[in-house]
Structure 1
Amino acid sequence: MDLPIDVVRSRRRKRTIAAYVADGRVRVMLPDGLPADQEAKLVKEMAAKAIRRFTSTQVDLAARAGSLAHRYDLPSPESIEWSDRQLTRWGSCSTDSRRIRISRRLATMPRWVLDWVIIHELAHLVFANHGPGFQALVARYELGERAEGYLIAKAEERTKP
C-alpha cells in the first residue's frame, strides 16, 4: 500500500516520533533539526509501521481464513491472529492447538500473497510436514507459485545491506 507521506517537524517535540494513517495519508511527526539521513530513515521506518498497523486492522483474518478454508476444502483453525513477533517466518501453525499466527509484515502485501500464507498454514492442520499430501493441498491455490516467488523476493530485500 503506497500512501503519500506528510512529515511534520516540531520544535516542541524533543525525543518522540509518531506516525499514523488518516484520510489516505501517512503523517509522521518528529523533532525539528534531525540530520537529513537520520530523518529519512526514521520517516521510512515509521511510515511502514503506521501502514502495517492500519492495514492489519482492515483485514479480518478469521473471516478470511474461514472463506479460504471453505473454498479450498481445508479445515478451519481454532484461532488466527496477527503477530508482531514473527520476523523470520510469514506464518506458523500449532497443529495441537489449531492456532495460526500470521506475520504482520504481510498486512502491507497484496491480498493474494496473504491468502497463500493462510492456505499454507491451513494445510498444516491436515499435514504437519511439507510432504506430497501437503503440497497437493497447497497447489490448489492458483496463485501459489507467484505468491511464493513474491515472498522469496521480499525476504531477499530484507537481507540486503
Structure 2
Amino acid sequence: MRQAPDRVPARGRAARPVPYGAPVPGSTPDATASPEPAGEIPVGGGVRHALPAARSGRGSGPDGPLGPGGDVVEVRRSARRRRTVTAYREQGRTVVLIPAAFSPAEERRWVAQMVAKLQTREERRRKSLGGDEDLMARARALSEAHFDGLAEPADVKWVDNQHRRWGSCTPADRTIRLSSRLRSMPEYVVDYVLVHELVHLLEPGHNDRFWTLVARYPRAERARGFLEGVEQATAGPGADLVD
C-alpha cells in the first residue's frame, strides 16, 4: 500500500486535457445551475377533465412505455401542477409529474414524450462521460489540478452494482469505483465523487484533513448538496453518499 504523504502542496500543476467536455471544474466560474433531470415542459391549452391527484404505474405494451433502461414508469398527478410536466429517475423508476387535470389521453401522450426526452438526455450524458479509460484520465487530471498528482489511482471504473453508494475506494490496491447512476448527473457532481475517492488515496479516513483536501475542489459543497438532495428524495436521510 502506498503511504500517504504528510502534506499535499497547496497548488497543483495545470491539468492535462480531459475527455468529457470543459476543462477540469474549478478553473472557470460556475455559471449554470443544476437543471431538472429531464427538464420541465410547459403545457399549452386548457384541460377539460378534472381528475383527482393519484399515482399510477406504467409498463410496456398498451399500458404505456417503459422508461430508460426498461424501468417502470410511475405517473404522479398533482393538483398544484397546472402548466408543466416533469420527468426524472428515482430508485430504478422513471417518475413523470403531471397536472391532476390531465385526461387519460393527455397522460399517455405526455408520458411518452417525457420518457423519450429523458432517454435522449441520458444517452447523451453517457456518451459525454465516456468509458473507464475516460474516467481514469479524468481522475488523473483532477489529481494534478488539485493534489499535484499525488493521488495516483491504479484503476478507475464505472460499476452497476453500487446502489447505496455513489463511489468507493480501496486504498490497499488504489482502485476507485463510481456508480453508473452518476451518468445521469451533471459533470461537476461526477468530478466531486472522483475527488472524494482520490482523497482517500491520501487520507483513508473521514477526518478533518480529509475534508480539508476535498474542499480544494471548488464545487465540492454544491455537488455534495446536490447528492444529498437526491438521496433524501429517494432513500431518505442517513444514506451513504460516497465511501
TM-score by structure 1 length? Answer: 0.70
2:166 counterpart (66, 90, 105): 90
Counterpart position of 2:206 = 130
Quote the Cα distance in structure 1 between the aligned partners of 2:204 and 2:137.
23
Counterpart position of 1:69 = 143
Quote the Cα distance in structure 1 between the aligned partners of 2:60 and 2:151.
50
- What's the secondary structure of 1:72's corresponding residue? helix
Question: Are 2:188 and 1:152 aligned?
Answer: no
**Equivalent residues of 1:56, 1:104 under 8 A apart:** no
**Equivalent residues of 1:92, 1:101 under 8 A apart:** yes
**Equivalent residues of 2:155, 2:174 under 8 A apart:** yes
Which structure dedicates a bigger proportion of its chain to helix?
Answer: 1
Report 1:14-53 matches (<5 A).
32-33=61-62, 35-36=63-64, 42-43=72-73, 45=93
Provide Cα deviations, 1:132-151, integer angstroms capped at 9, x if missing partner.
11111101111111111100
Counterpart position of 1:16 = none
1:142 to 1:126, Cα distance in 2 relative to 1, 3 A: same
Provide Cα deviations, 1:66-121, integer angstroms capped at 9, x if missing partner.
11010001412001000110011110000001000001111111111111110000
Counterpart position of 1:139 = 215
Higher RCO by CA contacts (8 Å cutoff, separation 6 or greater):
2
- What's the secondary structure of 2:224's corresponding residue? helix
Instruction: Give the letter aligned to residue 139 of structure 2.
Output: A
Quote the Cα distance in structure 2 between the aligned partners of 1:49 and 1:96.
38
Instruction: Give the letter aligned to residue 141 of structure 1.
Output: Y
Instruction: Give the letter aligned to residue 61 of structure 2.
Output: D
Q: What number of residue pairs does the alignment pair up?
A: 133
Q: Identify unmatched segments of 5+ residues in structure 1.
A: 4-29
Instruction: Give the letter aligned to residue 153 of structure 2.
Output: P
Counterpart position of 1:9 = none
Counterpart position of 1:109 = 185
1:31 to 1:91, Cα distance in 2 relative to 1, 3 A: closer
Instruction: Give the letter aligned to residue 145 of structure 2.
Output: R
- What's the secondary structure of 2:203's corresponding residue? coil
**What's the C-alpha RMSD, in Å, of the aligned pairs?**
2.9
TM-score by structure 2 length? Answer: 0.48
Quote the Cα distance in structure 2 between the aligned partners of 1:52 and 1:117.
19
Greater gyration radius: 2
1:119 counterpart (191, 195, 198): 195
